[in-house]
Amino acid sequence: MRRLIRMDETSISSERRVVNRWIQLTAAIIAMLAISNLQYAWTLFTGPLRGSLHATLPTIQLAFSGFVLAETWLVPFESGLIDWIGPRLMLAMGGVLVGVGWIGAGRAKSMTELIITSTQCQCYSE
């Protein structure tokens, strides 16, 4: 006697989610590769920053390192925030914070201001 195994809808949808998660992960990696151009372009700004802020290269590197850490390592927490507040509000807040970060970094008069604007605003915007 042959037994029919019936799969319920939840197991089928969970299998689709696994595939969907892999697609999302791949898309996120591709997006990070595109964003990494900003990370590589940072070296072009070190000379002008040293001149205008009278800062040392290690201090400028600290601001850059904070930006990179905030940009990449907070993504799991940001995804939880998206689940909590929704994607529209998250994108709106991210857009505003990116603008504030760019304007603040452009108007920074000291390395402390540069570190705060490039790290804190960017960590909430990605």
Top pLDDT among 8 and 46 is at 46
CA angle 105, 124, 28 (to 5 degrees): 110
pLDDT digits (tens, 9 = 90+) for 67-88: 778 777 878 888 888 899 988 8
Point out the least confidently predicted range of 81-85, 93-97, 122-126. Answer: 122-126
- Average pLDDT of span 90-110: 84
Q: How far apart are CA 117 and CA 120, in angstroms?
A: 6
- Distance (Å, rounded) from C-alpha 11 to C-alpha 17? 10
Segment among 39-43, 81-85, 109-113 with least mean pLDDT = 39-43
Whether the pLDDT of residue 11 is over 80: the answer is no
* Per-residue CA distances from 92 to 28, 38, 97, 125 (Å): 19, 21, 9, 9
Give the pLDDT confidence of 20-35 residue by residue, as tens digits: 788 888 888 887 777 6
Which own/partner pairs from 80-85 qualify as long-range (CB within 8 Å, at least 24 positions apart)? none
